[in-house]
Amino acid sequence: MKSLTLFWAILFPLTITSQTIITQSNSPYATANHNQRKIIRDSYNHVYLVFEDIENDTSIIKYTQFDYLFQTWNIPIKLFDGNSPTIAISRENKQYITYCSNDSLAKIMVSSKPENENWCEPIVISDTSKICKLPVTDVDSSGCLNVAWIQKNTISNDIIKFSKICNDSVYFNYSAFNDFNITDVAIANNLQFSSNRIYISYQTNSEIKSYYKKTNSDSVWINYENHTGSSPCLSVGNITPELISSEMPRIMFLDSLSRINLNQYYFYDDSLHQNIQNNPMLSDSVNYIVIDNIIVPIGFSFLQLKSDTLINSFFQEYNVKNFDTIVGNPIYPSIAYKHFNPDSVDFVWMSNNGTNYDIYYLRSEKVPYLPGSIKKQDKDDDIYAYGFPNPFSNEINIVIHSNSGIPVVKIYDISGKEYTLKSQYSSINKTYNFIWDGKDSSGNIAKSGTYFLNVSCNNKVINRRIIKISQ
């Protein structure tokens, strides 16, 4: 019975694939700014949204949640007067909302909500004598909130301010970077809450500068990349559990032709090493990009907005797979980063309805499920795969058809650990058969949950999802 319960718990998120109108907002910037995350998930797979609205000519912050048990969005509630909100969540499900006050000299405000408790009174973390804007946030493994924002210093000179909030108190607050005409900033901590390293990228004119610092208390920022471009986005995930304290930061940005570029790094041996550059990832120009969480050996999800079309995409080593295409002039998409979900992507966007703005929500699959037989639409692909039974408890038979040569087949869990295939027992007519007995190379039985089949051959790759249930 326990196995059956797990099976349905894993498959259930995939059924929520139709777009839903959550609510309306009078603000044209309700979900704006691509690095200000508006949507989060907790460890129970509940989804929360923060957005800007306008009532009586005053900008306000509203908040709501979606409960998958009852399949409903709550009626949004007003939390604070203010604008430009962003939301973050800790491993223990403590939520933080950071926003700008409505004052002429806008202040950066922070409020927190421990699990099953009410929102706390906001605190001011910025210089009240300066104009501040665009707060971005993330939470590290210690549960501290890390905040970066832009502070106007002079007409052409700006400062990236950095603040760490621990136990609802300002741990430290200082000027991290001083530069000219800063227009954008991004921040990221480790997706799986595995380290306290902090990564920041910011844009000044047409240059992007990227830094990291190694520990919570360390005040030294190390510059690891400068390049031309705009709209930097950051995501950081574990490389593999075998490499202790290792992670991969990814920087996605737009080049001078508005094409999506990607730079990837490995952090190990207490230093950062560049891995590969994918420049450009795609040949088309886009207007807006948002990056999601990542599974380092497999890839990552991202949103790209082209003119009047929003596309939910997945980058997998050599290519990009598009899953959802949304038309109707969507604007300002935002995607959930934490908590990590290996199965699904949660994202929101806005659309002008002629009177105000509808806010839409969609949950979509991240990596396709490994089917039990050949799908008709797959037969013309260079590589396709199926497997049975899926879900499985003892072993799964995996069949790969490759027109591109002998495939390299790997299986990973959601932490990036690689598992060994038990055997390859035939290869006939470009079809290769494998068995996985649900164990690692040491013979240890893998836990119940989601696993990823990774098949690559001559710069072509596919990823499929496998479900293992308890015996």
Q: Model confidence over 263-314: pLDDT tens digits?
A: 989 888 778 887 777 778 888 999 999 998 777 788 899 999 998 999 999 9
Residues 293 and 384 in one domain: no
Looking at per-residue confidence, does 380 or 135 come out higher?
A: 135
* pLDDT at residue 222 is higher than 50: yes
User: Residue 387 is part of which domain span?
Assistant: 376-468
Going by C-alpha positions, the residue among 381, 345, 337 that lies closest to residue 363 is 345
Strand partners, 322: 313
Residue 252 pLDDT grade (very low, low, confident, very high; cuts 50, 70, 90):
very high
The pLDDT score that the predictor gives to residue 93 is 98
Residue 404: give its domain's CATH number: 2.60.40.10
- Domain stops at, among 340, 365, 390: 365
Co-location of 56 and 152 in the same domain: yes
Based on the fold, state whether residues 83 and 174 are members of the same structural domain.
yes
Q: What's the pLDDT at 143?
A: 96
| pLDDT band at 209; cut points 50, 70, 90 | very high
- Element (DSSP H or E) covering residue 4: helix 2-11
In a domain, 81, yes or no: yes
pLDDT recorded at residue 403: 86
Q: Are 468 and 393 in contact (CB under 8 A)?
A: yes
Half-sphere exposure of 232 (CA within 13 A, CB side): 32
pLDDT of 297:
80
Pick the more confident residue, 318 or 361.
361
Domain final residue pick, 299, 330, 365:
365
Say if residue 17's pLDDT is above 60: no
Q: For residue 426, what pLDDT is reported? A: 67
Q: Contact, 332 vs 303, CB < 8 A?
A: no
Under 8 Å between Cβ of 84 and 100 = yes
Is residue 162 within 8 Å of 147, Cβ to Cβ? yes
Asked whether the beta carbons of 289 and 234 are under 8 A apart, the reply is no
Establish if 423 belongs to a structural domain.
yes
First to last CA, the chain: 11
pLDDT the model gives residue 242: 60
Q: Is residue 2 part of a domain?
A: no
Q: What is the pLDDT of residue 13?
A: 44
Alpha helices by DSSP H, listed for 191-280, are none
**CA–CA gap between residue 384 and residue 371 (Å, rounded):** 10
Cα–Cα distances in angstroms (integers) from residue 460 to residues 176, 185, 245, 383, 463, in the given order? 42, 34, 30, 8, 11
Range 220-233 average pLDDT: 94
Residues 6+ apart with CB under 8 A from 162: 146, 147, 148, 173, 174, 175, 176, 200
pLDDT classification of 6: cutoffs 50, 70, 90: very low
Position 5 scores a pLDDT of 39
